[in-house]
Structure 1
């Protein structure tokens, strides 16, 4: 389960506090692959950062007994002064991977970075960094994968590979996904949460959630 308890999140601005969520209580159901839907500014990215623990609420908390991924393919956990290999080994260590050599080899193969795997990430192109991050994510057995527009990563060949791998993962774990592509959400998800005016509404049927979102 993932419980949101009394959660308040705001950002300071020149015109005062801008609230994304205010005293929000909600339980994200387990056992579903969930699409997160909402208009621009509804709080989708903020929710992801809060779930991943990369950002904290101003009040309240999120409680879970599940092992959640960081937002897959986002490069916030990748250190630019370390090589791809060093990043993979470090990420494997902090996630409790027992066979680090095997994990690093899987990341190397999946990322398809070839000899650039041993260069500093600061030298990588904008497309190479998320490929490394995605490969690192897929090497860890999470209960829930947080997916943010991930199938836009890399070239067409790599996008096909990410879709295939995520499809396989979604059958043995769960995904919570943000995407502007409805066909992509229909491929991976069976249900939806619609964010609107600081509230969250769960739809067991994905199409009902999409209809609500389109009517906003």
Structure 2
């Protein structure tokens, strides 16, 4: 369970205050995959960053009785001078995962061959994305945070990525941000709509999609 209590987040942009979360109170149930919907700029990514702990709210708090991932596929925390293998071992120690098992899984998954043992600074953006997605899937979180993740590589690699992700979803929940209604319908059971700093949770995904599409036809306040 992830509980948002009086959660507020405001920014100052060009001397103007923008509020993307306005005293939100909501609960994301354990083991449920939830589509987080909202127009561009509504604050979906900011909300995921706050839930992951990467960003602090202006006020309020986030409570959880389970483990929460960083945004799946996020490569920004890799150490550039360490190799892919060394970064895997570092993450494994932080999250108390067997280091050899993580290295074996990620090496097989990412298909980086000799580059797996080379510094991250030598990687292309696609190689870093493959490594990051593999590391994300190697840690058994209770809730995965997914922000517009898309597998890189050929059709075979994309199919493998989808298969591994779906396997994780059989044992965990997720909060998923995506503009692909097809992907959300394949992944999620429930939905939450973020609009003008307010968030409404829906037990049925189709109810959330209907409200979101209706909002998209209306101008923002």
Tell me the TM-score normalized by structure 2: 0.93
Q: How does 1:31-70 map to 2 (within 5 A)?
A: 31-70=31-70
Where in structure 1 are there 5+ consecutive unaligned residues? none
Query: Could you list the per-position Cα deviations for residues 7-44 of structure 1 after superposition, in whole angstroms to 9, with x for gaps in the alignment?
Result: 22112222232211122222222231111111001111
Secondary structure at 2:22's aligned position in 1? Answer: strand
Q: How does 1:1-216 map to 2 (within 5 A)?
A: 1-97=1-97, 99-216=98-215
Distance 1:34 1:161, change over 3 A: same
Matched residues in 1 for 2:194 and 2:23: separation?
14
Question: Could you tell which deviates more after superposition, 187-196 or 71-80?
Answer: 71-80
Tell me the TM-score normalized by structure 1: 0.95
Secondary structure at 2:150's aligned position in 1? Answer: helix
Kept in 2, the 8 Å contact 1:52–1:71? The answer is: yes
Kept in 1, the 8 Å contact 2:85–2:103? The answer is: yes
Secondary structure at 2:213's aligned position in 1? Answer: helix
Query: Could you list the per-position Cα deviations for residues 88-142 of structure 1 after superposition, in whole angstroms to 9, with x for gaps in the alignment?
Result: 0000000001x31121111111111110001111111111111111111111111
Matched residues in 2 for 1:80 and 1:156: separation?
28
Matched residues in 2 for 1:174 and 1:133: separation?
19
Where in structure 2 are there 5+ consecutive unaligned residues? 216-221
Q: Size of the alignment, in residue pairs?
A: 215
Matched residues in 2 for 1:139 and 1:164: separation?
14
